[in-house]
Amino acid sequence: QVQLVESGGGLVQAGGSLRLSCAASGSIFRLNVMKWYRQAPGKQRELVAAITSSGTTNYADSVKGRFAISRDNARNTVYLQMNSLKPEDTAVYYCNVYALKNYWGQGTQVTVSA
């Protein structure tokens, strides 16, 4: 069973920064692509960033240049550094991994005030 636990969300003013963490249980971490998604009220869940086991990254156009995804395989943890935050970044952020099926964390709320 895979468990994902996010942390690091909160309330921040526009232009500020937050760092999200996702701790993963199980041996799958080192082999799998880890992803961050977000879901704003009334909107569909969208992919924000992804990182492969070798460190190749991919970002949604809306966050390129502002967000950075990274991983620490020794700690089974993936991070999302979010800089220059905007009110439109407000959402619940979810950590995700696919290992025969999709696994999701419980989500962490990020609120950016204008």
The confidence band for 83, taking pLDDT boundaries of 50, 70 and 90, is: very high
User: Do residues 95 and 36 touch, judged by C-beta distance below 8 A?
Assistant: yes
Average pLDDT over residues 54-63: 96
The yes-or-no verdict on residue 18 having pLDDT over 70 is yes
Average pLDDT over residues 74-98: 96
The yes-or-no verdict on residue 21 having pLDDT over 80 is yes
Percent of the chain past pLDDT 90, that is, above it, reads 82
What average pLDDT does the chain have? 94
